Structure formats: structure tokens, C-alpha cells
Structure 1
Amino acid sequence: MTVTIEAVSKPVVSAKGQAALDELLAKRVDSRLIPAATFGATTADGPIYFAARGERVLGEPDKGQVDDKTMLQLYSMTKLVTTVAVLQLVDRGLIDLDDAQLVEKHCPELCALPVLTGQDGDTLLSTPRTQPITTRRLLSHTSGLAYTFSSSLLAEWHQQNQPPLHHGEQTTKGFEEPLVFQPGERWLYSIGIDWAGILVERISGLNLQEYFHQHIFGPLGLTVDDITFVPTDDVRARMQQICKRLPDGSLVHGVPMRPLDYTAETIGQLSGGGGLHGTARAYLRFLQGILNRDDGIVSEAAFAELFTDSLPADAPPEVKKGLAVMTIRTNYHDPEHTANDAQFLGHSVGLVLSLKDSVNGRRKGSGCWDGAAKTHYWLDPATGIAGICFTQLQAPSADGWLRVYNEFERTLYDALE
């Protein structure tokens, strides 16, 4: 499904609206409902709002406040960057999103993997893959791959086989996991975009750090000091402390899900699905670059693909059930969108799409995603803005942070002139 995107004006945030956004940020951070946080919004022409508040290390004010130089673990925010890299290679004629042979040619170890079908006692049952793994399916989470938290079968396979971690392994072994359904059968959040990143490396001849900085970040004026796979000493010194929520609601320091002590020599296979560290300002600049096709990181065709639903319009309901489960659990979408098996949601090659205007503000045709430490963004071509709402928090999906995200979005749209 292609959503028609209307022409946009150039919105600005009113002075009254800016005060309301500042007040919301201060109230939620100062009350300790959330750790330090950053709110931001941009048009194609540049930021229209940016504010950061709170201690970089919770409870240790002597270590400074968060600002536009503070580094964050972006986790799955990496996925959209990988998608942009793929779309650039599409523009160059090096990738066809629907070519049934392309992934087979460049990632044979992925295509040799079986499909888990069930369990008989301790024995995992499997069958050969019969449907093609295309690049579109890798990017839209319909490839048959999964994460352990999204598939109990894959979790059991991990328990029995103890594969390498996704990070730190010098080969692709950490990503060589069986499928859990035939490609195209349904939507399930997965490591598919990690494999898309491996595809980018093998076709371009560059690792993702090199490719991203040569073709995406560099043209936007960003350097490895702003966004990077490799956490250098400087990056670690500027990192916002991860927090976690205790059952009583209080916040304490947490432990990163990915180690921060890797070097360029030891980091291993780079994760196109979750490996980046960066500043909120840098990611907002990246989103601006998507809105502003004159920056050269996305073509008009690539931009249209980002906001076109890759889930077949005539697909049976079970195809979208996984998307419904995931988005209901994350608790920041308009409930009308997630109801009835995600009736007003779709998924493109990089974004969860809103197929109807949202009560929270974003317009029909908008796309979004987030990172595991509660870094959220959306792109709204109809209004002409992108927004970010970032912290560093490990907490259940129903955490109060998601309420803050919705409050920020609604307040921002109410502030636009």
C-alpha cells in the first residue's frame, strides 16, 4: 500500500509551544519519572526544537548534565541507517529488493538455514526453507528470522546450541540462526536487518562503519565523534548512564546490553540491526537528511520506498498479527491503529507506518521505530517534521516513559505554527 503524502509547509514551534515543551521535559525529569532525556524536532531545513535535561549519570551531578554532545546507545535505531544504505545500493542498481537470487548469492550461509516448526520433548523439529529470502523481507521483518524474545522456539534453539553472541564474533556465526516460519508467511521482529547489513558489506566491499560514514554520515557533516559503531575512550566518557526501573518505580544504574570495551580490532561483525552509538543531535541530523532529499542520502525513489507498505494488502490477518502484538506491547501507538490486528499500521523496508492520522499528532503516512534503551523517533512527511524522544532506560514496554513520549508528540504538534 502506498500512502499519498500531501505537500508540506514549513512548520515552526511557537514561543508558547516551546515553553510548554520545556516545562514537560523539566517536570518529567525532575520528578525522576524518567532519567535524563532529550527532546528534538526538525524539518528538512533544520531543527525547530532541541532540549536536553538531567544528569548524565543519575545521582552524580558532578559528572555533568546531558547535552547535544552526550552519547547514547542507539541499539535498533541503527536499523533505519542500514535501510538507507540498502536503498542507496538499490539506486546504484546493485540491489533489487525483490530479487529471489540476490541474498542466496551473497549470503549463502543464511539461505542454508532450516525452518523450525515445533518441538517433540527435547527435540526441535525443522523443515527446509521453501520460500525465497529477499532483501525486502529482511528489511520488513517477514524473512522468517526472529529474536529469542520474539520466538520461544528460537529461544529453545539458543538454549540447546549456545551460539556466539550477536556482538563480538569475528564472523557471521553469531547471526546464523534458524528461521521460525517460511519467508513471507508473517511479520516477526528479527535479526533480518543485521543480515541486510552483511549484504551491504559484501556488495559494497566496505564494512558498515566505513560505508555509513562515506555515504550517509559524512555527507551530513557527521563524524565518528558524533555517531559510531566503535565506542572509543571519548565516546565512553560522554555516554549517558543506562538506568533500569525497580519494581517500586525507582531508578537505579543498569548495565548496557552490548559491551562498551570493544576496539576497532575486536568488535567483530558490525550489527546493522543494533550496533550504533551516537548523540541525539546526530540522529536528528540524520532524520533531517531523510526529509531533505537535497542532502543526497536518499533519492526521491528511496524516500517513497521508505513510506510504502511492504506488507501485502491482500495478506491474511496472521501476517500482521506479529506487528499487532509488538506495537500493542510497546504502548506508544494510537490504540485505534493497533486494534484488530494492527488495522491502521503497516511496515515498509524501514519503518512501522501509520495508515491513518494519529490521536498523538503524527499524520497518515508517518513512519517510526525505536531503540531498546528507550530512544524513539518518527518521520512525518505530511507535516514535514521528524521528532526524537531519547533517554537511556531499561524498563517494561508499559513503563511511564512511553507516556512521556506520547505527551511530547502531542505537545509538539499543538505547538506547531
Structure 2
Amino acid sequence: MSSFEEKFEQAVKDGVFPGAILMARDVSGKLDYAKVFGSLSMDKDAQPLQLDSILFLASMTKLLTSIAAMQCVERGLISLDTDVGDLIPSLAAQPILHGFDANDKPILSKRKNAIKFVHLLTHSAGTSYDKMVPMLEKYRTQIGQPENRATMENKCVYPLLFEPGTHWSYGTGTDWTGKIIELLTGKTLQQYMDENIFTPLGISRIQFTPYVTEEMKVQAASIALRIPDGKLVNLPRSKNIDFGDLECFGGHGGYADLTNYFKILESLLLDDGKLLSPSSTAIFFSPHLSTPSRKAINTIFAQPEISAVFVGSFPESVEYDWGIGGVVLRENGEKRGKGTMAWSGMPNLFWWVDREKGVCGLFGTQVYPPGDGKVGEMIDLFEREVYERVEGGGGGAKL
């Protein structure tokens, strides 16, 4: 066992996470690494975590929905510049919330700019997560929070924070993208992905919340919650953000065997044409933010109190943008090459595809809250190890 792997074994013993799944490969195939550590939960008698155990993807679902969206563009069903207001009228009808006046009444204005498809995909439409923005949470409390959040109409219909295309805010844009895909294709997001993403890659173990099979439920890892004393405890299933979801939420609703998810990263890295044509892949990895939105994302990523909740390392020295499927580097980073795309999932999962240096990687665990510092150190350790192996020509355990 390498010293790198020994550190992961020790991290399990130290309570950094119940378990972790690591996968990486390079274009040449010389690096083909897969390793699993730890257990399915924090229970004393927990079964060992397996490479094919089922993990809650949360925002790693966004990559899948973004690929589906790009396929719709490729097939002429919609364009990135399409005004999607008529397709999602409940969102289009929302005003912009600017704050509250001296009498604690919301200050609202009518939206002027079109909501383009690309705005939803790049988190520049003005949408956000109400639970992450106190102003939105206050507004929803004032008007009366819905009794349940099982549908898009209940969970995601509330005011915008800014005019589309003028700023950046991480949020529900990809969930709305999923609804548009369903309208364009006449299929649920699960059905569409089964036919157009999963089947072409031989994938059968990625499912949205309403479609998770009993077999997958049995094989699912529990989410661990870090409590104030630093220890991890099992989070009750009923407390997870997707509990009770009745629809396919394209921004957070996926569960997966990570060996299946990794096939998608490999396909993008190799540009093998199974999911997207080469020209579509190039668009997918290109920066798409307007100048003010790009300025905004870099200002946000430079604020430690905000960027701390993002999973993975995003040094301030690098300029960022947003592609169709994730954050992209506009220049070379310390490890990553220019054009690298990356993103994550709330339980501290992380993926990246570096086409410049020819490598992709996936880190899987199930720990809340997002941006956990202890887990973050292990993600960085893994990523550094991968690049060292790529530069040194090393391999690893075969998948």
C-alpha cells in the first residue's frame, strides 16, 4: 500500500469520512486507478463500502442534465440563446427581489432581460437556492413556505436575484433545465437519460429519486453529518434534501454507482462521440459567462466565507468561468490545465475532466456539510496524487 493510500486508511480511522471511493484515468490508459476505503455508514457493524455502492450525487447530477441539454441543442430542439420564458412560465413570471424596505416589505421589480437557456445552464439567470440566501428565505417565510418541497412548483418557484446575464449565483438553473428537456422530448428526465446517456455507455445504475430501485436502496451508503464536536453521525434518510421528491430534479436528484458515473467522465475526456459530437463537446467545455457574470463568479470564488461551501480546491490565483457542465479554468492552475471542467456534490463528492493534460478523476464520499475542511484536504491530496502519477507515468489498481 502506498503512503497516499495509508493516509486514506488513517482518515477513515480518524473520522474524516465513513468511506471514500477514488477513480482516475488518463487518455493513454496508463493511469487506470480505482480504490475504495472504509464503510457504508457510521454504524459499528457497517458493511465495507464497495466501488459499486450507491451514493447520493446531489449537484453531481447537474453534469448529467447539462449533457442532456447539450444533446437537445445538438439535435436542433433548442439553442443556447433561446428565450425559455414560454417553456417555464412559472419561473418567467417571477420578479427580481432587491431586499426589504423600512416596513419590512419586499422590494420587487419586473424582470426586463430574457431568460436564455444558457443562463440556466451557467447559473447566470438570477435563480438561486432559497436555503442559501437569507433574503430569499425571509421572502418565502413571509408569503408562506409550502408544506412540502416534493415538486418544482413548490421547491423552486420564487423571485430572481438579478437580471439574467448580469451576475452569477449558484442555484436551481439546472433543475429548470431538466424541466425544459422533459417538455422538449416528451419524456421524464430518467427516461431521456436512460435512452440517450446511460444505454450508449452500458450504464444501468444511475437513477433519480423516484426511480431508485430496492436493490440500489440496499446498496446505498448512509450520509454522515459532522456535528459541532467534530464527530460524524448518520443522517436520517428523512432529513436529506431529496426526501419525498416526486419528480426528477436535474440539479440534485441523482443516485449512482460511481463506476457508472465514471464512464461519463471517461467519455467526455476521450471525446469518443458516444454522448456528444466533437463540436458539441468543444462548446460544452467552452466558457459561456457574460463579462459581468464572469466578474461576479470570480469575486464570489475569492470570498472565503462563500467559497468555503464549495467542494474542492479553487485557488484565488486562477480565473474561472462556467461552461455548460461545470466551472472551467480560463488559465492553467497549479495542477489543472487550462479549460479543465470540474464540479461537485453536496455530500463532498468531486469530479474533474482536464482535457489539456488528458486526465479525469472522481472522489466520492457521503459527508455533510458541504465544503467540509477535513474532507477537502483529502480531495486535494487525491488530486495531487493523480497529477503526480500522470506526470510520472504511474498506474494503479485496475477498475
Is the structural similarity TM-score above 0.5? Answer: yes
CA deviation after TM superposition for structure 1 residue 365, in Å: 1.3
1:5 is matched with: none
Give deviations 1:163-186, integer Å, cap 9, x for gaps. 4478523x6343221111111121
Greater mean alpha carbon deviation, residues 148-157 or residues 316-325: 316-325
Alpha-carbon offset, residue 279 of structure 1: 1.4
Aligned position for 1:142: 124
2:331 aligned with 1:356, yes or no?
Answer: yes
Asked if 1:293 corresponds to 2:301, the answer is: no
> d(CA) in 2 for partners of 1:336 and 1:260?
32
The one-character-per-residue Cα deviations of 1:256-288 (angstroms, maximum 9, x if unpaired) are: 4547775xxxx4231000000011211111111
Contact preservation (8 Å) 1:368, 1:379 = yes
Q: 1:333 aligns with which of 298, 313, 323?
A: 313
1:314 shift after superposition: 6.8
Q: Distance in 2 between matches of 1:166 and 1:86?
A: 28
Find out whether 1:305 has 2:283 as its counterpart. yes
Distance 1:203 1:396, change over 3 A: closer
Residue number in structure 2 paired with 1:191: 172
Do structure 1's residue 369 and structure 2's residue 369 form an aligned pair?
no
CA–CA distance in structure 2, aligned partners of residues 50 and 274 of structure 1: 25
Tell me the alpha carbon deviations over residues 67-116 of structure 1, each in whole angstroms, 9 at most, x when there is no partner. 1221011000011111000100111011110123xx02211222111111
| Alignment: residue pair count | 385
Helix, strand or coil at the partner of 2:272:
helix
Q: 1:274 aligns with which of 252, 270, 278?
A: 252
1: CA distance, partners of 2:316 / 2:243: 43
How far is 1:384 from its partner?
1.4
Structure 1 residues 258 and 52, CA gap change in structure 2 (3 angstroms): same
Shift of 1:233: 1.9
Is 1:84–2:64 an aligned residue pair?
A: no
Q: Which residue of 2 aligns with 1:58?
A: 42
* TM-score, scaled to structure 2: 0.89
The answer to whether residue 184 in structure 2 is matched with residue 203 in structure 1 is yes
Instruction: Tell me if the contact between 2:348 and 2:370 (Cα under 8 Å) persists in the aligned partners.
Output: no
Q: What residue in structure 2 maps to residue 32 of structure 1?
A: 15
Two-structure CA RMSD over aligned residues (Å): 2.3
Shift, 1:56, TM fit: 0.9
Runs of 5+ unmatched residues, structure 1? 1-17, 338-342
Give the whole-Å Cα distance in 2 for the aligned partners of 1:112 and 1:384: 44
Distance 1:299 1:20, change over 3 A: farther
What are structure 2's unaligned runs of at least 5 residues?
394-399
> Does structure 1 residue 251 correspond to structure 2 residue 232?
yes
2:136 matched to 1:158?
Answer: no
- Matching residue of 1:9: none
Q: What SS does the aligned partner of 2:381 have?
A: helix
Query: C-alpha separation between the residues in 1 aligned to 2:337 and 2:207?
Result: 29
Query: How many angstroms apart in 2 are the aligned matches of 1:72 and 1:316?
Result: 32
Q: More deviation in 68-77 or 37-46?
A: 37-46
Is the aligned partner of 1:110 residue 2:91?
yes
Match of 2:396 in 1: none
**Is this contact kept in 2: 1:220–1:295, CA < 8 A?**
no
SS of the equivalent of 2:25 reads strand
Check 1:110–1:68 CA distance in 2 against 1; reply closer, same or farther (3 A cut).
same
Q: Distance in 2 between matches of 1:357 and 1:261?
A: 40
Aligned partner of 1:11 in structure 2 is none
Secondary structure at the aligned position of 1:155 is classed as: helix
Distance in 1, Cα, partners of 2:122 & 2:254: 20
What is the letter of the counterpart of residue 279 of structure 2? A
Amino acid at match of 1:362: R
